[in-house]
């Protein structure tokens, strides 16, 4: 059991394109609220003050035809330059974490919410694993992750390596996790694992 009035917080860890968002979405079906950092960032990039700060560092070359930040152009820059990624994170992360805190407080006050799921790519890197009551690692073979990335048109194998270099290792993520979910087979197998883990959370926290 957690503190009165507080929902259990579930953190999702895994490699890039391992299926973390799919796992989070399945928890949502079970009555959880998901805090999606990518969605928060997407909304932040549309804010003029934040856009101006980012353009001030990276120039107007990162803007698309409509004057909005082109996420792909920005990603292509920051994921090959540690200093630029650090500069971007200094702008973005405080706002992301502030919004996540607001959402946690909001969901703690909603009786129908059973738990809160954090779908935050740099969960451990920013120390938010300490906020979690349960941490789940989504295991997915590298070749399958590369295939998924290419299917989405996001990046190639080399870019995958570059991006992973900015995160803690998969072994360290496994070590942090309380549970590991195998996402190397079909969706039904994945959903069953999630349901089983959530049943344990329900029982431990006395949720209904």
pLDDT value for 82: 82
User: CA 154 → CA 99, 119, 139, 181, 202, distances in Å?
Assistant: 26, 19, 20, 24, 36
pLDDT value for 154: 66
pLDDT value for 1: 44
pLDDT value for 93: 92
* Residues in the chain, pLDDT under 50: 1-2
Q: What is the DSSP letter of 128?
A: G
Helix 142-152 vs helix 157-164: crossing angle, to nearest 10: 110
Q: Which of 159, 116, 93 is nearest to 6 (CA)?
A: 116
- Residues 150 and 31: their CA atoms lie apart, in Å, by 32
Domains of the chain listed by start with CATH number: 9-205 (3.40.50.300)
User: CA 159 → CA 17, 78, 164, 192, distances in Å?
Assistant: 12, 11, 9, 32
pLDDT value for 161: 78
pLDDT value for 3: 54
């Amino acid at each position: 059991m957690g503190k009165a009035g507080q929902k259990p917080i579930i953190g999702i860890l895994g490699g890039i394109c391992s299926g973390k968002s799919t796992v989070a979405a399945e928890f949502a079906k079970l009555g959880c609220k998901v805090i999606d950092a990518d969605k928060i960032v997407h909304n932040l990039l549309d804010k003029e003050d934040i856009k101006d700060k980012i353009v001030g560092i990276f120039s107007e070359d990162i803007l698309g035809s409509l004057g909005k930040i082109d996420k792909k152009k920005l990603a292509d820059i920051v994921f090959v330059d540690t200093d630029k990624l650090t500069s971007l994170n200094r702008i973005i992360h405080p706002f992301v974490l502030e919004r996540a805190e607001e959402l946690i407080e909001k969901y703690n006050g909603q009786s129908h919410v059973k738990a809160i799921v954090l779908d935050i790519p740099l969960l451990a890197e920013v120390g938010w694993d300490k906020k979690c009551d349960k941490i789940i690692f989504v295991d997915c073979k590298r070749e399958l992750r590369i295939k998924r990335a290419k299917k989405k048109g996001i990046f190639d194998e080399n870019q995958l390596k570059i991006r992973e270099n900015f995160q803690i290792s998969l072994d360290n993520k496994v070590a942090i996790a309380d549970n590991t979910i195998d996402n190397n087979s079909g969706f039904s197998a994945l959903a069953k694992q999630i349901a089983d883990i959530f049943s344990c959370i329900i029982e431990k926290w006395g949720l209904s």
